[in-house]
Amino acid sequence: MAGQVGKQVMLPKQEAFKMSLRNIRIRFGRACIVSSSVLLGVAFLMSIFTNTVIQQALLKNGPESIKVSLAAGASDSMARDIWLVSLSLLVCVVGITNAMLMSVTERSREIGTMKCLGALNRFIMEIFLIESGMQGLLGSLAGGLIGGLGMLITYLARYGTVILNYIPYLGLLKFYLFSIILGTVISIIGAVYPTYLSARMEPAEAIRREV
């Protein structure tokens, strides 16, 4: 019997999913804070996408009166928009990294304990990355809707319901999906570093570290 040591196997993904979901459900307030930073970034991104898409559609096919009023300050804002979007996404990444750093540090003892009980570093990483990804997904879903609808309402207020006939909905939907994916990916990327730091810590150190 002596001298026998086996190898711990990786748990199926669904176990990590279950634990992430539970963490989000129970620490819902914290999850919302992380989500909201994604929400803001993606809302901004989506509002700019929507603006550009609607503007271009109206310039091309819209009623003459609208074309004239749009043409005044349209094209030159493109470069500025890209700059703003990049900046807001960067702020988003930093915000998420910061939020995850806090959330992971806060749970350092929990991570150490899980490692004592036989969790592999990879499993810990999985839990936190899934958690962050799901928070990002929620934030992006909401943020995209808010940004897109907000911009749409602005146009409606200015030009009336007539513009609804000229909006390329499919194009907007594509940008919406793109924003969601981007928001989710950014959330995962932002969480990689803090999660990696805690997962590879020796359990003794993780448990000792008080916040």
Q: In the bound complex, what is the minimum distance in angstroms from residue 199's beta carbon to another protein?
A: 11
Q: In the bound complex, what is the minimum distance in angstroms from residue 203's beta carbon to another protein?
A: 4
Say how many residues touch another protein, by CB under 8 A.
33
x/- track of binding to another protein for residues 19-48 (CB under 8 A): ---xx--xx---------------------
16-34 burial: b if 16+ Cβ within 10 Å, else e: beebbeebbeebeebbeeb
x/- track of binding to another protein for residues 92-121 (CB under 8 A): -----------------xx-xxxxxxxxxx
Nearer to another protein, 88 or 121 (CB): 121
211 forms part of the interface with another protein (CB under 8 A):
no
Stretch that binds another protein, among 51-59, 64-72, 144-152, 199-207 (CB under 8 A): 199-207
Q: In the bound complex, what is the minimum distance in angstroms from residue 127's beta carbon to another protein?
A: 11
Q: In the bound complex, what is the minimum distance in angstroms from residue 137's beta carbon to another protein?
A: 20
15 forms part of the interface with another protein (CB under 8 A):
yes
Nearer to another protein, 30 or 67 (CB): 30
Stretch that binds another protein, among 15-23, 36-44, 62-70, 150-158 (CB under 8 A): 15-23
In the block, which residue shows the tokens 């409606």? Answer: 156
- Nearest C-alpha neighbor of 57 from the set 170, 168, 179: 168
List of residues contacting another protein (CB under 8 A): 1-9, 11, 15, 22-23, 26-27, 109-110, 112-121, 123, 202-205, 207
